[in-house]
Amino acid sequence: MNTAKTLLNFVLAGALLGIAAASWIGPSFLGWYNETPYATQTMCNLPEVIRKTASDVLTYQAVGAGIGAFVMLVLGVLFVRRASRRARMQAGQTPPTAPPPAAPRATA
């Protein structure tokens, strides 16, 4: 159960990081992608442009969340495997046993 919690934490952290990255990078990309070539003026249907832009931002956030979750899941699996390998190695290394105490000598 502890492993599942660790992996879930990694996945959720990756999803949040992916959403944050997409929210930060997405608007710049959308501005560049929707720029008119050669500085020409265009007339557009503004409500449609707004809906499309909002849809694109949400799509990029969902993709960013998926990519972030996947990358962090892989890192989480590597982290859990390394931790379990260390635990097995430490369990295999038992400290040496102490010799039994010496019997007291009888004096005559």
How far is the C-alpha of 4 from the C-alpha of 19, rounded, in Å?
A: 22
Question: Are 26 and 61 a contacting pair, CB within 8 Å?
Answer: yes
User: In this structure, how many other beta carbons lie within 10 angstroms of the beta carbon of residue 58?
Assistant: 12
59-102 pLDDT, tens digit each: 888 999 999 999 999 999 999 999 888 888 887 776 667 777 77
4-42 pLDDT, tens digit each: 888 889 899 999 988 888 888 877 777 777 776 666 666
User: In this structure, how many other beta carbons lie within 10 angstroms of the beta carbon of residue 77?
Assistant: 14
Question: Are 72 and 13 a contacting pair, CB within 8 Å?
Answer: yes
What are 20's two structure tokens? 């944050």
38 torsion bin: left (phi>0), alpha (psi -120 to 50), beta (else) = left
How far is the C-alpha of 19 from the C-alpha of 65, rounded, in Å?
A: 5
